[in-house]
Structure 1
Amino acid sequence: MTTNTARRRIIALDVLRGIAILGTLLTNIWIFSQSAWDDDGDRAQGALAVFNRVADVGLNLFTDGEFIGLLTIMFGIGLEIQRQSAIRRGEPWPGRYPWRALVLILDGLLNYIFIFEFDVLMGYGLTGLVVAAVMATSPKTQKIWMVIGLGAHLLMIGVFTALPRFVGESDLPADQPVPADANRLDAALGATGTESYWGMVGERLQTFIGGRGEIPIMFVMGLSLFLVGAHLYRAGLFLPEGRRLRRIVMAVGFGVGFPLDWALRLSDNGGGFITRYGTSTIVAFGLLAAVAAFYAHRDRVGIVGHGLSLVGRMALTCYILQNLIASIIFYDWGLGVAAKIPDAWNTVITLGIYLGISAFLIALSAIWLHHFRRGPVEYVRHKGVDRLADAAESARAARRRRREAVAPATTGVSTG
């Protein structure tokens, strides 16, 4: 692999991470802004009403599931990159990765308790532990697990689609861009969304088991998407010579995924679980291949790509920070903007705040990365993993030395 090829691959991956992070914010920000929203039917009249309707439908078509799917795929690709890096350094795999996964689970736990109820990091960490072990097996075994993961994912979609009451989707408006488990907002925020910060933390702790009910969903989804993403990366999706593979993935993602996804979403039942975790994921693969194709023969990211790549390089920091900022802006324990927005202007103002948060994250990432190599959360996580792994290795070495010291003494007594 040449240096230029490696650089192009890094460019595409950073941009994709940035798209996934800011896209996830666009999906989740409605959780915050609608926490005190009284939906009393018509929220606006005239041009504003038309804009609201078009925006709501458009957001539902383009954001509900695509970006969480892309983020999941990117985690799998990142796992494969770490595996290849370990092999190049002559280190065993999974080596230290289990410590990375455990620290990610801890990050997710803290994020869930203190910042955002709909955290995905815990699920990704648990999935990473399993997938890392699978990646240590032969290519044939990995493909078998990939098929098992895809089969389990499809089965899960079928079961939850057939049992909508189990996931509470029957209570959700079909055209609102909110997650499947948003019916749990009452548990997180109280009936009016006016709980104090520590009251919300207490609610999350009290309802921890039920509040983490999406982890099995994310685990099954991640098992398949991690492995497929890793396989596409190994197959050369980001290499200039991977043109044919990119065309195939885009044909499936856009040619099959888009029409199927839109047909289901625009139907009477609005799609629901099957679109959020099924057809949207197919579209996410098309987006992945399209960005890979755009940068396959480029050395520069451009203005928009540069901003996205900055967020992508600080993906974990920006993911946690964007939820914290949105909480401070919208919730009553912060600025309480959600309760102050007139219903008719909810969509417009929320989109404006989204753009503001995105611009802030890009600017912060630019300033931080100008002085430091890693984002603040990435740096702390890196140091934490190193310390845990070093401590574990030191403990194993000490136990080995003790066993070696005892063995000769035992042998001497037995021969005497």
Structure 2
Amino acid sequence: MRGFAILGIYLVNMLSFHSPYVFIDPLAWWNKGIDRITYVFIDVFAQASFYPLFSMLFGYGLMLMRERAIGRGANFRVFSARRLSFLLAVGIVHAFLVWPGDILITYACIGFIALFFLRFSAKAILISALTIYIVPNLLLGLLLLLADTVGPVENPWQLYKADAQKSLEVYGNGSYQAITDMRIYEWNFANSPDTILITLFTILPLFLIGASVAKFRWLEEPERHLKKFKAVAFGLILPAMALKTLPYYGWEGYSADFFQDFFGGPLLAIWYAAIIVLTAGKMRSATSLLANVGRMSMTNYLFQSVLSTFIFYGYGGGLYGKVSATQGTLLVLVVFIIQIVISSIWLNKYRYGPMEWMWRSFTYFKLQKLRRRENA
């Protein structure tokens, strides 16, 4: 699941790597031909569906770490604090020196809040997660729907034309310092005080859903819960796709985009998870390759950012704004295949990816065994 999520996240992130995606109307930017088809495909099948999947897996990992620490009598609070602090530090470097679309800072900060809920029962965690997610997001969605019905829908992208043009100039031709200044500006734009509560009420419950699944042990013993996964696989696909395609069959406005992303996205993410559970045992060769990418998820995530920004930014290839959505998507597939190969070769010799080894060593304040044959 984690390897699959890394692919989906890269598909979405690539739009921001090569274009001023934050400041443009994508359907107007990629408005015809194969580029429009490519963008619509990403919007429906990837956008807002893979970060929920990855977020749930992050919460799943936190709960596993807690259960294992308690099982061996270790201090989970200390370990989790170190783990999240390392993630925060890496996220800060990534956001301001590599790419402003970083998610690691958000994961680290909300991860500290999630720790409070992990002591509860699996059922209590799941109920808390659904309540925190559904109630505020549904209320906000209904308010947006009311706004759409009261007055005409205005085009908000007109406000950001200057920002889009500045991005094209700075990222495509600017110096490293100018690009860094633009990164900081863009990060502040995407992480303004107006978005903090929305982010909290979105990411936190996704963490908790993953944590509850870990505590229920549904993925550790999937054969005992096949009926649940089949019910999810067959029950969610139609409502998920109905919500994900809302903006494409006449429902226009802020509310359509909101329900598409905030409700359709997580439903499709859960559907993806169920499908992977049901098919993983029957496709071991393919899933083992994805698993290798997933075992090195931080390394691969950061590698995607470093490579892509070097290709597109002015201090590298300078191709920012000069690549189509289709060309960017083809690049994603090429890079991901390379990552599958490199991850498989690396994990034949080593226990962890480079960043994962550093992360684990810092978490336990002890250098971890890296080589597979290493005894000390």
Name which one, 1 or 2, has greater alpha-carbon Rg: 1
Q: Following TM superposition, by how much is the alpha carbon of 1:219 offset from its aligned partner in structure 2, in angstroms?
A: 2.5
Partner of 2:370: none
3-state SS of the aligned residue for 1:337? Answer: coil
The TM-score, its normalising length taken from structure 1, stands at 0.74
1:375 and 2:346 correspond: no
**CA contact under 8 A between 1:253 and 1:287: conserved in structure 2?**
no
1:132 and 2:115 correspond: yes
**CA contact under 8 A between 2:296 and 2:356: conserved in structure 1?**
yes
Q: Which moved more, 1:139-148 or 1:63-72?
A: 139-148
1:233 and 2:218 correspond: no
Q: Following TM superposition, by how much is the alpha carbon of 1:232 offset from its aligned partner in structure 2, in angstroms?
A: 2.6
Partner of 1:262: 245
The one-letter code matched in structure 2 to 1:198 is Q
The one-letter code matched in structure 2 to 1:324 is V
Partner of 1:280: 265
**CA contact under 8 A between 1:257 and 1:279: conserved in structure 2?**
yes
**CA contact under 8 A between 2:171 and 2:313: conserved in structure 1?**
no
Partner of 1:223: 204
**CA contact under 8 A between 1:258 and 1:283: conserved in structure 2?**
yes
Structure 2 unaligned runs (5+)? Answer: 367-376
Change (3 A) 1:145 1:339: closer
Q: Which moved more, 1:265-274 or 1:278-287?
A: 265-274
The one-letter code matched in structure 2 to 1:262 is T
Partner of 1:242: 225
Partner of 2:374: none
Partner of 1:85: 68
Structure 1 unaligned runs (5+)? Answer: 1-15, 174-180, 389-416
Partner of 1:23: 8
Q: Following TM superposition, by how much is the alpha carbon of 1:25 offset from its aligned partner in structure 2, in angstroms?
A: 0.5
Q: 1:353 aligns with which of 331, 336, 353?
A: 331
Aligned-residue CA RMSD (Å): 3.4
3-state SS of the aligned residue for 1:336? Answer: coil
The one-letter code matched in structure 1 to 2:181 is G
Q: Following TM superposition, by how much is the alpha carbon of 1:315 offset from its aligned partner in structure 2, in angstroms?
A: 0.3
Change (3 A) 1:147 1:359: closer
1:313 and 2:291 correspond: no
**CA contact under 8 A between 1:72 and 1:225: conserved in structure 2?**
yes
1:154 and 2:133 correspond: no
Query: For 1:199-218, what aligned pairs fall within 5 Å after superposition?
Result: 199-205=178-184, 209-213=188-192, 214-218=195-199
The one-letter code matched in structure 1 to 2:330 is G
Residue identity over aligned pairs, in percent, reads 23
**CA contact under 8 A between 2:172 and 2:312: conserved in structure 1?**
no
**CA contact under 8 A between 2:18 and 2:322: conserved in structure 1?**
no
1:363 and 2:341 correspond: yes
Change (3 A) 1:338 1:210: closer
The one-letter code matched in structure 2 to 1:203 is M
Q: Which moved more, 1:286-295 or 1:84-93?
A: 84-93
Partner of 1:176: none
The one-letter code matched in structure 2 to 1:362 is I
Partner of 1:97: 80
Query: For 1:10-89, what aligned pairs fall within 5 Å after superposition?
Result: 16-35=1-20, 50-89=33-72
The one-letter code matched in structure 1 to 2:319 is V
Partner of 1:292: 277
Query: 1: CA distance between counterparts of 2:145 and 2:97?
Result: 31
The TM-score, its normalising length taken from structure 2, stands at 0.81
Query: 1: CA distance between counterparts of 2:4 and 2:336?
Result: 11
Q: Following TM superposition, by how much is the alpha carbon of 1:155 offset from its aligned partner in structure 2, in angstroms?
A: 3.9
Q: Which moved more, 1:307-316 or 1:331-340?
A: 331-340
Q: Which moved more, 1:263-272 or 1:76-85?
A: 263-272
